[in-house]
Homo-oligomer: A and B are copies of this chain.
Amino acid sequence: MDTIQSLGYNVYFNDSLTELVNFIQQGKYSKVFILSDDQTSNCCLPAVTERLDGVTPYDLIEISSGEANKTIDFCIGVWKMLIDFGADRHSLLINVGGGVVTDLGGFVASTFKRGFDFVNVPTTLLSQVDASVGGKTGVDLDSIKNIIGTFTQPKAVFVHPGFLETLPERQVRSGLAEMLKHGLIDDEAYWDELKNSDLSVPNPELVFKSVVIKNKIVLDDPLEKGRRKCLNFGHTIGHAVETFSLDNDGDHLTHGEAIAIGMICEGWLSVQKAGLKQEELEEIISVLTRVYPKYHLDDSCYTVLNSLMKKDKKNEGDNINCTLISKIGACAINQICTEDELCESLKFYASLNF
């Protein structure tokens, strides 16, 4: 494992918290802020702050954890704290947490005083494999995921494998879905390696390989004009299911659990429309159902899910635009799917017994 060079910044894997200290010492920032959430503050933040004590003074800003709080209202709260703490254009924001913290913190930093520097210290498997590279920042509005945001790169990302050791099982499953996706859309050998691994324990080597795959795709197409859309496999249906669950379930699905459902549905659509073989779909289903429990979907959900998909930010005009796969390891972007087709794919998922 080595340092990965992304869009004008480095993603550090080797002794990354020491690299964070080096970065701050070289940066000559006027003020340093740490953004975190209440969950991260307990489990992961001390590993960061104990390295910073004596290196730099900092102010800590804490938000409530959970996707439901990734909103403009929380941004306003953070912006006001930055004003009160005297943040300026030469300050640094360190986002320590999962995807909610890195997405929201990146948006806050990219828009406060028209932008100041931020770095990410992702603490969950999902944020390490997915939010480390790509430069997407954003928050949700009216239950629509990431509808408000910018493309802004962090100045560096520090991936610390130690954070993975204490993750609860569902958090591991959540990140794993994006890793499996990286294999399905781009790298059959990586998919095979994952499918033959013990998927219940996060493996830093496999995290590194996932970031290498995503980084290659992002460097090719930073603003998602074309090829980068392959990263959306499983996400048209997955985002809708995730939002539906957030709105309706007390104990709602994680991002990865929803994307796993989306990959089964969009895998089925890939057989109908993009050339995926039936036996490949069966292999995908067998791996995913080994990891992810069944989620109950019935007739009452489909209308809501369809109306959510129509608001997906990837659509063009009135069409629902999906990314499918033509085989394991290769994808097919810009696949227009009708409401009926999407509904059929959800019914296919509902018909599976596992």
Residues of A within 8 A of B (CB): 30-31, 72, 76, 79-80, 83, 86, 88-90, 107, 110-115, 136, 138, 141-142, 144, 146-151, 310-311, 313, 315-318
Contact = CB atoms under 8 A, between A and B. Distances in A.
Nearest to A310: B86
Given A111-B111, A150-B150, A318-B86, A80 B313 contact: no
Contacts of A141: 76, 79-80, 83
A89 B142 contact: no
Contacts of A31: 317
Q: Which of A110, A114, A147 has the most CB of B within 10 A?
A: A114
Given A150-B110, A150-B111, A150-B114, A317 B88 contact: yes
B142 A83 contact: yes
Contact of A80 (B113, B114, B142, B149): B142
30 contacts: A30-B316, A30-B317, A79-B141, A79-B147, A79-B148, A80-B142, A83-B142, A83-B311, A86-B310, A88-B313, A88-B315, A89-B313, A89-B316, A90-B316, A107-B111, A110-B150, A111-B111, A111-B148, A111-B150, A112-B147, A113-B147, A113-B313, A114-B138, A114-B146, A114-B149, A114-B150, A114-B151, A114-B313, A115-B150, A115-B151
A149 B116 CA distance: 11
A53 to B, nearest CB: 21
Nearest to A321: B88
A147 B83 contact: yes
A112 B148 contact: yes
Nearest to A318: B86
User: In the complex this chain forms, how many copies of it are found?
Assistant: 2
A330 to B, nearest CB: 25
Nearest to A72: B76
Contacts of A148: 79, 111-112
Contacts of A89: 313, 316
A5 B308 CA distance: 41
A106 to B, nearest CB: 11
A117 B310 CA distance: 21
Nearest to A113: B313
B316 A88 contact: yes
Nearest to A86: B318
A274 to B, nearest CB: 23
Contacts of A310: 86
Given A88-B313, A88-B315, A89-B313, A83 B151 contact: no
A30 B31 CA distance: 44
Contacts of A315: 88
Contacts of A150: 110-111, 114-115, 150
Contacts of A86: 310, 317-318
Contacts of A79: 141, 147-148
Nearest to A152: B150
Q: Which of A79, A113, A310 has the most CB of B within 10 A?
A: A113
A142 B151 CA distance: 26
Contacts of A114: 136, 138, 146, 149-151, 313
Nearest to A87: B313
A243 to B, nearest CB: 13
